[in-house]
């Protein structure tokens, strides 16, 4: 393989980053772009005494890891079981002996796979799987997946680490291109990438990358639990001094859609219906069944109401007869869910707790949705004080789109 071909392959797969570009700590797999990690690190730097930190929307555990490295105890919840598994693997502590034994297991797996001594697993039931991987890559991944299973104990930390590396490799070998917002395929000319590359070497490199991160155990403890941010007290114990989180944005992005290759390969999903159901249970989900459910969704009477929200909903609903109503329902449901979330958050905050919500505003049919102001209004109504909306950065080429840090203090 030429250097250029390899470079292209790696670029296409560049969905994974070092945890902290400055310090090089923890190389894993994450959803958030580099600037989000930086924002979380900057916020965390302001808190020097050990605290109990909560992130109700874990994602790839950026806050939990950052808090643990800063010596805090952190608890984070997510509704997606794949992200809970990933977060647990990222925040766990690993001994040198464990890391050495994972390295050995990786060599054994690679040897067996390259010698063809492994019965491959069946390819996962991903719709149009041939669009994702060319036959050679698919064959390799099926053998590698089987090799990891045969070469490590179920639920062992070794297997977890090898599977995180496997996630990195499967994306590198895929035809899909990732960017932060959505996943799309390259045009047809690029669907068959020339694969005269050493796929086993790619996996080996990914294992090394993951183990480098695993070697640097954080000082504080991070706990990642499955839970719904609308019912926090059912998922977490005790009270928290600080919340730093990036909730789902009102942008119709589906985390399930973005994560489906990993989720299918690792057995967290086995059909499209289940994917849609999971998306419906998540805040801001709009994929598959979630979209059709939205069209029949009725706004309950007792939710958060605000003149700014009512005007926006009315304008969105009347912009376009067919999709306007669904979109207005989408926005209304999003704010209902966030309202429910804030109502459950106050039950688990200590007196004087500070909260930071990193969130973007949105535009639908030319209607600007000031998400940050609506968050601030919700917090005000619940009795928070010191409420501020600080612009963090411009989001993209649309001049009205920004990201904000909505912060406040819970007087208790
Ligand atoms: C913007 S992402 C968080 C990104 C995160 N800061 C990171 O480092 O990757 C939002 C997360 O909220 C999760 N989520 C959506 N609805 C939820 C709910 N009701 N309860 C808990 N988590 C939820 C999604 O699964 C997704 O992982």
Q: Measuring from atom 21 of ligand 1, which residue has the nearest CA? A: 78
pLDDT confidence band for 34 (50 / 70 / 90):
low
Tokens of 132: 């994702």
Closest alpha carbon to 92 in 204, 261, 218: 218
Ligand 1, CB cutoff 6 Å, lining residues: 30-32, 56-57, 59-60, 62, 77-80, 83, 228-230, 246, 248, 255, 282-283
Q: Pick the most confident of 13-22, 54-63, 194-203, 370-379.
A: 370-379
- Quick one: pLDDT at residue 54? 98
Kindly give, in sequence order, each residue whose CB lies less than 8 Å from that of residue 125, ignoring residues fewer than 6 positions away: 264, 270, 271
- CA gap 333, 152 in Å, rounded: 43
Torsion sign, CA atoms 191, 192, 194, 199: positive
- Quick one: pLDDT at residue 286? 80
Q: In the CATH hierarchy, which fold is given to the domain comprising 41-89+220-410?
A: Rossmann fold (3.40.50)
Q: Is the pLDDT of residue 84 over 60?
A: yes
pLDDT confidence band for 175 (50 / 70 / 90):
confident
Q: Is the pLDDT of residue 301 over 60?
A: yes
Closest alpha carbon to 255 in 278, 230, 227, 289: 278
Q: Is the pLDDT of residue 264 over 50?
A: yes
For the entire predicted model, the pTM comes to 0.89
- Quick one: pLDDT at residue 351? 97
CA of 109 to the centre of ligand 1 (A): 33
Closest alpha carbon to 206 in 119, 102, 117, 69: 102
- Quick one: pLDDT at residue 180? 32
E strand intervals along 321-411: 349-360, 362-364, 367-369, 385-394, 402-410
The phi-psi region of residue 12 (left if phi > 0; otherwise alpha if psi is between -120 and 50; otherwise beta) is alpha
- Quick one: pLDDT at residue 255? 86
Alpha-carbon 147 to chain mean position: 27
Phi, psi values for residue 244, rounded to 5°: -130, 120
| Percent of the chain clearing pLDDT 70 (strictly above) | 87
Q: Once rounded to an integer, what is the mean pLDDT over residues 78-105?
A: 95
Q: Measuring from atom 4 of ligand 1, which residue has the nearest CA? A: 59
- CA gap 259, 374 in Å, rounded: 29
Q: Which residue has the higher pLDDT, 3 or 164?
A: 164
Q: Measuring from atom 8 of ligand 1, which residue has the nearest CA? A: 62
- Quick one: pLDDT at residue 322? 76
- CA gap 37, 59 in Å, rounded: 12
| Percent of the chain clearing pLDDT 90 (strictly above) | 66
Q: What is the mean pLDDT of the chain?
A: 86
Residues of the chain with CATH 3.40.50.150: 41-89+220-410
CA of 121 to the centre of ligand 1 (A): 30
Tokens of 352: 């004087």
pLDDT confidence band for 196 (50 / 70 / 90):
low
């Amino acid at each position: 393989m030429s250097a250029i071909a390899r470079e292209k392959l790696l670029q296409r797969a560049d969905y994974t980053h070092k945890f902290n570009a400055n310090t090089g700590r923890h190389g894993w797999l994450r959803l958030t772009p580099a600037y989000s990690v930086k924002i979380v690190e900057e916020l965390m730097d302001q808190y020097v005494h050990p605290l109990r930190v909560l992130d109700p929307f874990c994602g790839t555990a950026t806050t939990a890891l950052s808090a643990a490295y800063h010596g805090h105890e952190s608890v984070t919840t997510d509704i997606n079981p794949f992200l809970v598994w990933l977060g647990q693997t990222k925040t766990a502590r690993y001994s040198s002996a464990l890391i050495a034994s994972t390295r050995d297991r990786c060599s054994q797996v690679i040897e067996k796979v390259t010698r063809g001594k492994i019965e491959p697993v069946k390819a996962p039931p991903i719709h149009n799987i041939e669009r994702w991987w060319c036959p050679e890559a698919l064959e390799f991944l099926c053998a590698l997946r089987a090799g990891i299973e045969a070469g490590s104990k179920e639920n062992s930390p070794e297997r977890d680490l090898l599977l995180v590396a496997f996630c990195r490799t499967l994306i590198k070998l895929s035809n899909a291109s990732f960017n932060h917002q959505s996943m799309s395929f390259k045009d047809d000319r690029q669907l068959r990438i020339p694969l005269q590359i050493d796929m086993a070497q790619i996996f080996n490199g990914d294992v090394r990358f993951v183990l480098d991160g695993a070697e640097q155990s954080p000082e504080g403890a991070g706990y990642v639990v499955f839970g719904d941010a609308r019912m926090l007290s059912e998922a977490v114990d005790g009270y928290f001094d600080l919340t730093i989180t990036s909730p789902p944005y009102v942008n119709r992005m589906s985390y399930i859609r973005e994560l489906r290759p990993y989720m299918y390969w690792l057995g967290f999903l086995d059909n499209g219906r289940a994917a849609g159901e999971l998306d419906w249970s998540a805040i801001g989900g709009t994929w598959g069944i979630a979209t059709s459910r939205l069209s029949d969704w009725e706004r309950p009477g007792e939710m958060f109401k605000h003149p700014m929200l009512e005007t926006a909903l009315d304008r969105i609903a009347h912009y376009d007869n067919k999709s306007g109503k669904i979109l207005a329902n989408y926005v209304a449901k999003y704010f209902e869910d966030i309202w429910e979330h804030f109502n459950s958050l106050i039950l688990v905050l200590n007196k004087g707790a500070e909260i930071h919500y990193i969130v973007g505003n949105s535009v639908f049919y030319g209607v600007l949705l000031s998400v940050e102001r609506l968050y601030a209004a919700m917090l005000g109504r619940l009795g928070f004080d010191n409420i501020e909306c600080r612009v963090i950065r411009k989001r993209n080429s649309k001049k009205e789109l920004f990201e904000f840090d909505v912060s406040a203090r819970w007087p208790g």
